[in-house]
A = this chain, B = another copy of it.
C-alpha cells in the first residue's frame, strides 16, 4: 500500500499554496537539488569526461527508461529517455508510417494536444508525399479507425477536459484494421494506470515534467513495442542511436532495439533531477494512485457542483473515462483562475473558457480539495474575480 503521507513529504509545496496544476508542471522533489548538486560537483566536477562511464551517464537514458516502463506497463528494456515530447512524437510517427507504407492517412482527434498535430503537419509537409492528417472529434475516433488509416496519433488523456480514451479497445480496433498506433501519454504517465504491453500498443511517447515531477523541460520518453523494436527506423538518426557510437563509423547502423531511438548526447542534469522524483515513484503502486485520484476528483466535482452552480463540469463525470484532472467551463473562467491564484489555489486556464484542476495523489490531500472548493466558492459568491486586477491580467500558460 502506497504511503501517501510519506510521498507528500517528499515534495516541496510552497507555504499556503494549494497546488492543483501538477498536470502542467509537477512540484520540486525535496531531494532533487541535492541530487543535482551531487551530480554536478562529484560527477561533472571531479570526473569530467570520465563521468560518461564512471557515473553511468551513458546508460542513464535506458536506466531511467526502465523506471518509467513500470509506470506505463511497458516491457523492461523498451523505453528510452531523451529530447522533448514533440521530438519523440516526430520519431514515433515517422517510424510508424514506415511500417504502413501503402496508406496515406494519419488519424488524430481534436482533443489532442496541438503540438502533436503540429508535428504531424510538419512531417507531412516535409515528406510531401500526399499524406493526410485527418482530425475527428474524440468521440468519433473509434469509428474513424478504418482500413484507410496508416497510423493513429492519439493522446490517451486529453489536456483540456481530461477525457480518457480506451487504449485497449482502440488499439484492438486499430490492429484489426491494420493500423499502427502511436499513443501520447503526457497526461497518463503517473496519472492513470497504463498497460502498454497488455493493450498491444505499437509506439508510445510522453513527458516527465507533469505528473512525474521531472522539472521544467524534463526529458521525454519513447516506447517501441518489442515486435517493432528491431525494424523501426528512428528517422532522427543520431550517433547515440548508432550500434557503435564510439567507433565513429561513416555509415549509420541502427542500434539494438530501443537504443536506436536515442539521438544526441543525453541531458544528464535534467535526467538526474528526474531521478530524484523516480525515487519516490519507485515506491508507488499505480493502482493506489488511481484509487486516490478518483476519490480526489470526485470530492472536488461534488463540492464544486454543490457550491458553485455557475460552473459547468466539462470533464467526463464517469471516472472510467477521465484522467486525473477535472475541468469546468465558465465564461469568466480566466478571471476566476487569476483570483484563485491570488488566493494561493493554483489551477490553470485553457481558452476559451476552461478552468482546469489537476489532482495528484502523491501530494494532494482531501484538505487541499476542501479548501480549494471553499476558496472557489467564496470567489464566485463575492465576485472577487470581477476586480480589475484579475480581469486585466494576460493569459500565459
Q: Which of B85, B249, B346 contacts A265 (CB 8 A)?
A: B85
Q: Which of B58, B219, B237 contacts A121 (CB 8 A)?
A: B237
Cβ of A6 within 8 Å of any chain B Cβ, yes or no, is no
Cβ of A211 within 8 Å of any chain B Cβ, yes or no, is no
Q: How many copies does the complex hold?
A: 2
Interface centre among A49, A248, A268, A341 (most CB of B within 10 A): A49
Q: A87-B83, A216-B51 in contact; A242/B45 too (CB < 8 A)? A: no
In the complex, per-residue mask of A154-183: 1 if CB is within 8 Å of any chain B CB, else 0: 000000000000000000000000000000
Cβ of A327 within 8 Å of any chain B Cβ, yes or no, is no
In the complex, per-residue mask of A308-331: 1 if CB is within 8 Å of any chain B CB, else 0: 000000000000000000000000
Cβ of A1 within 8 Å of any chain B Cβ, yes or no, is no
**Docked-complex contact A48 and B19, CB < 8 angstroms:** yes
**Docked-complex contact A48 and B21, CB < 8 angstroms:** yes
Cβ of A222 within 8 Å of any chain B Cβ, yes or no, is no
Query: Least Cβ distance of A75 to chain B in Å?
Result: 25
Cβ of A84 within 8 Å of any chain B Cβ, yes or no, is yes
Cβ of A345 within 8 Å of any chain B Cβ, yes or no, is no
**Docked-complex contact A48 and B33, CB < 8 angstroms:** no
Alpha-carbon distance A235/B235, docked complex (angstroms): 12
Q: Which B residues lie within 8 Å of A28 (CB)?
A: 40-41, 44-45
Q: A interface, how many residues as a size bin?
A: 35 or more
**Docked-complex contact B397 and A49, CB < 8 angstroms:** yes
**Docked-complex contact B239 and A114, CB < 8 angstroms:** yes
Query: Least Cβ distance of A298 to chain B in Å?
Result: 24
**Docked-complex contact A215 and B268, CB < 8 angstroms:** yes
Query: Least Cβ distance of A352 to chain B in Å?
Result: 10
**Docked-complex contact B264 and A267, CB < 8 angstroms:** no
Cβ of A147 within 8 Å of any chain B Cβ, yes or no, is no
Alpha-carbon distance A246/B349, docked complex (angstroms): 10
Q: Which B residues lie within 8 Å of A235 (CB)?
A: 122, 126
Query: Least Cβ distance of A344 to chain B in Å?
Result: 11
Q: A250-B114, A263-B87 in contact; A119/B269 too (CB < 8 A)? A: no
Chain A's interface: helix, strand, loop or mixed, by majority? mixed
**Docked-complex contact A269 and B216, CB < 8 angstroms:** yes
In the complex, per-residue mask of A139-163: 1 if CB is within 8 Å of any chain B CB, else 0: 0000000000000000000000000
Query: Least Cβ distance of A9 to chain B in Å?
Result: 15
Cβ of A110 within 8 Å of any chain B Cβ, yes or no, is yes
**Docked-complex contact A46 and B14, CB < 8 angstroms:** yes
Alpha-carbon distance A14/B42, docked complex (angstroms): 10
Question: Which residue from chain B places its CB closest to the CB of A110 in the assembled complex?
Answer: B250
Cβ of A236 within 8 Å of any chain B Cβ, yes or no, is yes
Q: A86-B264, A236-B90 in contact; A49/B217 too (CB < 8 A)? A: no
In the complex, per-residue mask of A221-232: 1 if CB is within 8 Å of any chain B CB, else 0: 000000000000
Q: Could you pull out 14 A-B pairs where Cβ atoms are within 8 angstroms? A: A12-B41, A27-B45, A28-B40, A52-B216, A94-B126, A115-B239, A115-B240, A118-B238, A118-B242, A121-B252, A125-B237, A215-B268, A248-B351, A269-B270
Report which A residues bind B (CB closer than 8 A): 12, 14, 17, 19, 21, 24-25, 27-28, 32-33, 36-37, 40-41, 44-46, 48-53, 57-58, 82-87, 90, 94, 110, 113-115, 117-119, 121-123, 125-129, 135, 207, 209, 215-220, 233-240, 242, 246-252, 263-271, 273, 341, 346, 348, 350-351, 395-397
